[in-house]
Structure 1
Amino acid sequence: MYRLHIIYLDTKICPLMNYLTEIIICQIKQKSGFLRKRRMANMSWRTVVTKTQDKLKMRDNQMVIISENEEKCFPVEQIGKLLIASNIGSISFPLLVKLASQNTKVIFCDGKMNPVCEVNAYFSNYETAGRLMDQAVWTKRKKGAIWRQLVKMKISRQMDLLKVLKLDIPEQMVDYLNQVEVDDVTNREAMASKIYFNVLFGKEFRRFDSDNINAALNYGYTILCSAFNRAITMMGYSTALGIHHCNRQNNYNFSCDLMEPFRPFVDNIVYRYQNCELDWTYRQKLIGLLRNECIYKGKKTELETAIQVFVKDVAKGMSMSRYHVEEIQFA
C-alpha cells in the first residue's frame, strides 16, 4: 500500500508525541500500477500543508521541516504543492527558489488560513517563448468558439451536480444551455449560474456575499485555480493571457477561463458541508479536492491529473482549425 499524498503538519494536535501525521485521502482503485504510472509521468505528486510555527529550509536537496522538537525531511522533487497555512512560520530563500525552479506551487495563507498569494516560476518549459508567441496571436474567432464550449460544459456539469444531489433542474437552465453563442455574447453562463446557486443554496443566496458558503466557495476555487496555474505554466503558456477573461489586473485570466467547467467539483463539497463552519477540517476537504476522482476522455482519473491533460488538450486545440473540447465529468 502507498501512504503518501497530502500531509498536514500541526505540532499542537498531539503535544505529547509531537509527530507528523500523514493523511491518506486516496483509495487505490487499481492496486499499485495506477500510482506507479502516474508518478513516473510526474514525480511531483506530494502535497504538503503546514499550519504552525514550522521552519522550512533546504538541506541536501531535501525540504526540512523543523517543528518544536522534531525534524522531518522530504525529497524536494516529490513536492508538487506546498501550502503554508500560517503567517507565523518561515521558509528559507534557497528552498523557495528550488521549489519555484521545479514549478512546485507554493501557496501562502493569512492568519485566517485563507490563501493570499502563490509563487509562479517564470520559465518552466523549454518551449515557453514559442508557446507565448502562439498564445499571443490566438484568433478572436477561435477563442470565442472555445469559450462557447467551456460555458456549455460548465452549465452541463452544474446540471449534472443538481441531478447527483437529487435537486430539481430548472427548465430555464436547459434553455440557457441550448442558447449559448460564440463567446457567450448573451451571457448565458452568468444567468445559468444565478439559477443554479439558488437551487443549491436557496433563493436568498447571493454570490460574493460575506457568508460561510461564499467563503468556502472562494477557498475551494482558489485551490482549483492554483492547480490550473501550475498546469498552464508547466506547458509554457501564460496564465495572464485569457481567451475570455481579460482583466488587466488579473494575472490568472487563462486559468479563470479553463477552470469554469471544474467549479461544480468545488460546489459539490460546499453543498455537503454548507452548514459547517469553515474550520481546518472543512479546509482539508477542499484542499483534498484535487485527489478526488473524475472522468476525462472516458477514463477515471484524479482531478489534478485531468486538469493537466485538459490544459494541454485545449492549448493544442487552439492551433487547430476545428476542435471539440473533451468533457470533464463526475466519476
Structure 2
Amino acid sequence: MDRIVDIATDGRHLSAHRGFLIVSEERAEVGRVPLDDVAAVIVHAHGVTWSTSLVVALAERGAILLLCGSNHAPVAVCLPLDGHHAQNGRMRAQWEAGRPLSKQLWRRLVIAKIRWQAAVLEANGRSAGAFDLLARRVGSGDPENVEAQAARRYWPLLMGDAFRRDREADGANAMLNYGYAILRSMCARAVVAAGLHPSIGVHHANRGNAFALADDLIEPFRPLADALTVRLIAHGVDSVTPEAKRAFAGMIALDLPGENGTTTVAGAATRAAQSLAGCFQSGRAGDLVLPIPPSAIELSGLESLLV
C-alpha cells in the first residue's frame, strides 16, 4: 500500500539508507519505512532536516515531499521532474488544451464533487435531494458557480448551521485542512505519474499555485475528508491530534467502487489522472474517469480508520 509518512515532531532528521527512509533524532534511529512503499512525506514540524539523497530517492520513485504551514495547509512541494515515459507529449497537449475542453473538464469535476457531497450527506442521514438538481444545472465552465451554491447548502447540512469554512481557523477547519493536504499530495503524485504538470490547471489558474491541476483533480475527493472529519468529531476528536492524523493518512487506502470493481482512493486518483492525460491528447472531456460516489455502506469503511 502507498504510505503517507507524516513528520510532526521537531528535531527529527530524515535520510535514505539501503532502500529505507530513516527517521532519526540526535543520531538515534526512531523509525524506518521502505522507500518503495512511500507515496508522500508530509512535514508539519518546523525543526525537521533532511538529506538531499532522500529527496532524490523519493523523486526517483515518484513520491513527493510536502511542506505544511502552521494551519496544516500545504505551502511547498518537491515533485519529480521525470514522471512518465510520455511526459513531453502529454505536457505539450496539456499546455495546448483549448478553453472549451478545459471548461468541459471542469464541468465534469464539479458535477462529480456535488454528487459526492450528496452521497456524504445521505450517509449521515441528511436530505440531499436538491443536490441532484444542482448537479444537472452545472454548465460548461460552471458559469453560474453552482459549485459555490452547493457549498452554501452542504456545510450547514453536514456540520451544523453555526459552522463556517475558514482555512485559518482551528478545530474542525484545521482537521479539514489536514485531510485536504493528504488528498492534495495524493492528487499531485497521481498527476506527475501521469506525465502531467501540476501547475497547469483546467480551472484553478493562480499564477503562484504550483498545485493548480492537483487542486482541480482533488475536488471530487474532498467530501471524503469531510465525512471522516464528521466521524472523528463524533468520536470526540476535535483537533489535529495524532489519532486524527493516522485516520486521515489511512484514508487513501479506503475501498471505493470503480469501473472494473473495487479500487482504493489512491487507485481512483491514479485512474482519474491517467484518463485526464488522455483527455488532453484526444480533446474529449468525456474520456475523464472520476471516482464513483460511494454508498452509505462503503462510507462506513471510514469507521475502521478510527481505531
TM-score (norm 1): 0.79
Partner residue in 2 for 1:294: 256
1:83 deviates by 2.6
Distance 1:317-1:170 versus aligned 2 partners, 3 A rule:
same
| Local SS of the residue matching 2:183 | helix
Q: CA deviation at 1:220?
A: 0.9
Displacement of 1:325 in angstroms is 3.4
User: Matched residue of 2:109: which SS?
Assistant: helix
Match of 1:58 in 2: 16
The alignment status of 1:124 with 2:87, answered yes or no, reads no
Distance 1:318 1:91, change over 3 A: same
Counterpart among 189, 195, 214 of residue 147 in structure 2: 189
* Aligned mates of 2:123, 2:184 — CA distance in 1: 24
Within 5 Å, which residues of 2 pair with 1:74-93? Answer: 74-93=33-52
Query: Aligned to 2:282, what secondary structure does the other structure show?
Result: coil
| 2:141 partner letter | D
Classify 1:295/1:185 alpha carbon distance in 2 versus 1 (closer, same or farther; 3 Å).
same
Q: Following TM superposition, by how much is the alpha carbon of 1:60 offset from its aligned partner in structure 2, in angstroms?
A: 3.5
Greater Cα offset, 231-240 or 111-120: 111-120
The code of the aligned residue for 2:152 comes to K
Shift of 1:298: 4.6
Contact 1:232 1:255 in 2 (8 A): yes
- The SS at the match of 1:88 is coil
CA-to-aligned-CA distance 1:218-271 (integer Å, 9 cap, x gap): 111111111111111111111111111111121111111111111111110111
Can you list the C-alpha shifts for 1:97-151, whole angstroms capped at 9, x where unaligned? 2222322122234567664432112222232222111111112111111211111
Asked if 2 retains the 8 angstrom alpha-carbon contact of 1:54 and 1:89, the reply is yes
Matches of 2:132 and 2:37, distance apart in 1: 44
Q: Give the conservation status (yes or no) of the 8 Å contact 2:39–2:186.
A: no
Q: Secondary structure at the match of 1:184?
A: coil
1:48 is the counterpart of 2:18: no
- Would the aligned equivalents of 1:297 and 1:327 in 2 still touch at CA under 8 Å? no
Secondary structure, in 3 states, of the residue corresponding to 1:273? Answer: helix
Distance 1:112 1:310, change over 3 A: closer
- Tell me, which stretches of 5 or more residues in structure 2 are unaligned? 299-307
Alignment of 1:91-102 (within 5 A): 91-102=50-61
Which of these two proteins has the greater Rg computed from alpha carbons? Answer: 1
Q: Of 259, 274, 282, which aligns to 2:244?
A: 282
Give the TM-score, by structure 2 length: 0.85
Query: SS at the partner of 1:49?
Result: strand
Cα gap change, 1:104/1:321 in structure 2, threshold over 3 Å: closer, same or farther?
closer
Alignment partner for residue 135 of structure 2, among 157, 173, 177?
177
Distance in 2 of aligned mates of 1:58 and 1:164: 43
Q: Shift of residue 70 of structure 1?
A: 4.1
1:296, 1:326 within 8 Å by CA — same for their partners in 2? no
Residues 1:135 and 2:98 aligned together: no
Contact 2:68/2:74, CA 8 A, preserved across alignment: yes
Equivalences for 1:159-238 in 2 at 5 Å? 159-169=118-128, 171=130, 173-208=131-166, 210-238=169-197
Partners of 2:30 and 2:160 lie apart in 1 by 48
CA contact (8 A) 2:65 2:77 kept: yes
Counterpart Cα distance in 1 of 2:73 and 2:122: 31
- Which of the pair is proportionally richer in helix? 2
- The offset of 1:308, in angstroms, is 0.6
Question: Partner of 1:155 in structure 2?
Answer: 114
How many equivalent pairs are there? 287
Which blocks of at least 5 consecutive residues in structure 1 are unaligned?
Answer: 6-44
**Which structure's relative contact order is higher, taking Cα pairs within 8 Å and 6+ residues apart?**
2
Asked if the contact 1:223–1:286 (Cα under 8 Å) also holds between the matched residues in 2, the reply is yes
Provide the rounded CA distance (Å) in 2 between the counterparts of 1:74 and 1:197. 37
Q: Quick one: distance in 2 between partners of 1:249 and 1:327? A: 26
Structure 1: distance between partners of 2:83 and 2:250: 25
Q: Distance in 2 between matches of 1:268 and 1:75?
A: 30
* CA deviation profile, 1:32-68 (whole Å, cap 9, x unmatched): xxxxxxxxxxxxx343333333322233343333346
Task: State whether residues 49 and 84 of structure 1, in contact with CA within 8 Å, keep that contact through their aligned partners in structure 2.
Answer: yes
The separation in 1 between residues aligned to 2:57 and 2:188, in whole angstroms, is 18
Please tell me the root mean square deviation across aligned C-alpha atoms, in Å: 2.3
In the alignment, what sits opposite 1:23? Answer: none
CA distance in 2, matches of 1:67, 1:157: 42
Distance 1:192 1:217 in 2: 18
